[in-house]
Amino acid sequence: MRRSCTLVFLLASSGCGPSVETPDAHVADDADARQDTGPAGDGWAEVAPILERRCVPCHRDGEIGGFGLDTYERVAPLAPSIAGAVSSGRMPPFLPSEDDGCPSVDDFRNVPAADRARLVGWAEAGAPRGIGGPDRLVHTSEGPLGPADRRFAMELAYTPPPLTTRADDYRCFVIDPHVSAPFPTAAMSVEPGNRAIVHHAITFMVAPAQADEARRLDDAEEGPGYTCYGGAMVTPAYASGLWVPGDASVLEPPREDVGYWFPAGWQLILQVHYNVEHAHGEDRSEVVVWETPVPIGEVPRNLLVGDYDFVIPPRTARVEGTASGWFTAAGTSDVLGVSAAEGTIYAVTPHMHELGQSLRVQLVHADGTSQCVLSIPAWDFHWQGVFRLHEGVRAVAGDELRVTCAWSNPDGDETVTWGEGTSDEMCYASVALYSGR
């Protein structure tokens, strides 16, 4: 992968949740049961699967959501708040839009309109218990790749500052996995040590020289790690994995022989976004790695397109910037492997900072026609990530990948340009491709 990036994902409060009695409960008579359901006949048994899939990944004990939504008794009193959050789109927090021909995104937070309407209708009917439904909703965190093959823990535990200092803390940790020979990697993610405070985490692969540079940054600050708001703070750093609360953590390869090599002697930088609004304590997270089950047949190509020359003047309501990259027929080589330049886009990673308003990724064909790849009409720095397309978008030689960002700086007194700091901005999107269709 070609550049470091910082994907910020917090997963918050207010939203969905979960479970209560067994299927035999409340089996009085049919008339009583009908009186205890919503206008569409919905009771707990009907809405529980939606809550379990869409809300419980974050809203359960010990998770970043701050409160549990895993039983009927917990959910029913919050039904009006859940309805408001769901109908407004505030929860679950999901940035991409499928309007204007943009492709669907596979993500547990991408709630179909029918499911949103069902939750709202159930809440408006008074959140009836109805017949049956589970006692407790359960989220299974293990993804489709099964147990990880390798684990590399933070070298020391870290405790973020208390809420009296700040709610959000971005911290990077250098991890030496002591890799003496390259190994094939299908996916990489993070196992949080303290899920109640880990908001999101990103892994970066770095060569020895960049690892040494990162350790110097670590040595310059007290305690384990170093501050890293915008990325790994060293270049190049290859973004290789992401963890966010829920089950969208691991970017599963589009094919089992698609993967990349972890080079011998390279190290890892783990960027963790901590949020201590609801909890506090110590964390010692691990980087987890899945190896390819078969020999690597293809290394996915990452095309990163960014606008590095934008200028955002002070007191400005809206500024736009655009950048382009192109697909070619030739392959591309680097230390991570060889892959075809053209192919099928299966995932998109967009990134801006807190002045961002919107971001759009388009594929512009040689004949002038265009196709939306990803659209985020209302950017939120704390809810970004890697977005897996439900159906890939084919890019051929001669196609242009165009990224358009918009920012707002209505209250700022300073001009803002590209940079890694909290007061700087960014604009880029990286797409992952493989040769399949």
Q: Set out the domains of the chain in order of their start, with CATH numbers.
A: 30-124 (no CATH), 150-291 (2.60.120.310), 301-434 (2.60.120.230)
Q: Which of 21-25, 251-255, 351-355 has the lowest mean pLDDT?
A: 21-25
- How far is it, in rounded angstroms, from Cα 68 to Cα 62? 8
Predicted local confidence at residue 14, as pLDDT: 28
Please provide the distance, in angstroms rounded to a whole number, between the alpha carbons at the two ends of the chain: 21
Q: Is the pLDDT of residue 419 over 90?
A: no
Predicted local confidence at residue 3, as pLDDT: 33
* pLDDT above 90 as % of the chain: 54
Residue with more model confidence, 32 or 325: 325
The answer to whether the beta carbons of residues 404 and 324 sit under 8 Å apart is no
- How far is it, in rounded angstroms, from Cα 312 to Cα 393? 32
The answer to whether the beta carbons of residues 416 and 325 sit under 8 Å apart is no
Residue 382's pLDDT band (cuts 50, 70, 90): confident
CA angle 395, 427, 333 (to 5 degrees): 45
| Token digits of residue 123 | 């809440």
Over range 129-138, report the average pLDDT.
91
Over range 162-171, report the average pLDDT.
84
Residue 219's pLDDT band (cuts 50, 70, 90): very high
- How far is it, in rounded angstroms, from Cα 82 to Cα 77? 10
Predicted local confidence at residue 141, as pLDDT: 58
Over range 20-47, report the average pLDDT.
49
The answer to whether the beta carbons of residues 154 and 175 sit under 8 Å apart is yes
Instruction: Kindly state the helix (H) or strand (E) to which residue 429 belongs, with its residue range.
Output: strand 428-434
- How far is it, in rounded angstroms, from Cα 411 to Cα 336? 43
Over range 389-400, report the average pLDDT.
92
Residue 153's pLDDT band (cuts 50, 70, 90): very high
Predicted local confidence at residue 5, as pLDDT: 33
- How far is it, in rounded angstroms, from Cα 226 to Cα 271? 9
**Which pTM was predicted?**
0.76
What beta strand segments (E) does 263-355 contain?
267-275, 286-291, 301-306, 316-326, 332-334, 337-339, 343-351
User: Pairing between strand 370-376 and 356-364?
Assistant: antiparallel
What CA–CA distances, in Å, run from 2 to 175, 209, 404, 419?
20, 17, 20, 18
Predicted local confidence at residue 206, as pLDDT: 97
Predicted local confidence at residue 9, as pLDDT: 24
Instruction: Kindly state the helix (H) or strand (E) to which residue 217 belongs, with its residue range.
Output: helix 208-219
Predicted local confidence at residue 143, as pLDDT: 65
Over range 284-307, report the average pLDDT.
91
Over range 372-397, report the average pLDDT.
90
From the centroid of its chain, how far is CA 232? 17
- How far is it, in rounded angstroms, from Cα 360 to Cα 377? 8
Q: Is the pLDDT of residue 220 over 80?
A: yes
Predicted local confidence at residue 377, as pLDDT: 96
CA angle 415, 420, 426 (to 5 degrees): 65
> Nearest Cα to 48, choosing from 109, 119, 123, 121?
119
CA angle 420, 323, 205 (to 5 degrees): 45
Q: Is the pLDDT of residue 300 over 90?
A: no
Over range 4-8, report the average pLDDT.
31
CB 328: neighbour CB atoms within 10 A? 13
Q: Is the pLDDT of residue 368 over 80?
A: yes
Predicted local confidence at residue 392, as pLDDT: 93
Q: Does residue 161 have a cis peptide bond before it, meaning omega lies within 30 degrees of 0?
A: no
Over range 42-61, report the average pLDDT.
90
For the chain, give the mean pLDDT. 84
Q: Is the pLDDT of residue 2 over 60?
A: no
| Token digits of residue 51 | 């809550």
Instruction: Kindly state the helix (H) or strand (E) to which residue 160 belongs, with its residue range.
Output: none
CB 148: neighbour CB atoms within 10 A? 19
Residue 314's pLDDT band (cuts 50, 70, 90): very high
| Token digits of residue 371 | 């196709």
Predicted local confidence at residue 93, as pLDDT: 84
Q: Is the pLDDT of residue 11 over 60?
A: no
Instruction: Kindly state the helix (H) or strand (E) to which residue 113 belongs, with its residue range.
Output: helix 113-124
SS3 316: strand
Over range 169-186, report the average pLDDT.
95
Contacts of 175 (CB under 8 A, 6+ apart): 152, 153, 154, 155, 267, 268, 269, 270, 287
Predicted local confidence at residue 4, as pLDDT: 32
Residue 243's pLDDT band (cuts 50, 70, 90): confident
From the centroid of its chain, how far is CA 390? 15
Q: Is the pLDDT of residue 310 over 70?
A: yes
Over range 122-139, report the average pLDDT.
92
- How far is it, in rounded angstroms, from Cα 137 to Cα 19? 5
CA angle 309, 315, 320 (to 5 degrees): 35
Q: Is the pLDDT of residue 334 over 90?
A: no
Predicted local confidence at residue 411, as pLDDT: 94
- How far is it, in rounded angstroms, from Cα 104 to Cα 388? 9
Highest-confidence segment of 91-105, 257-271, 412-426: 257-271
User: Pairing between strand 286-291 and 150-153?
Assistant: antiparallel
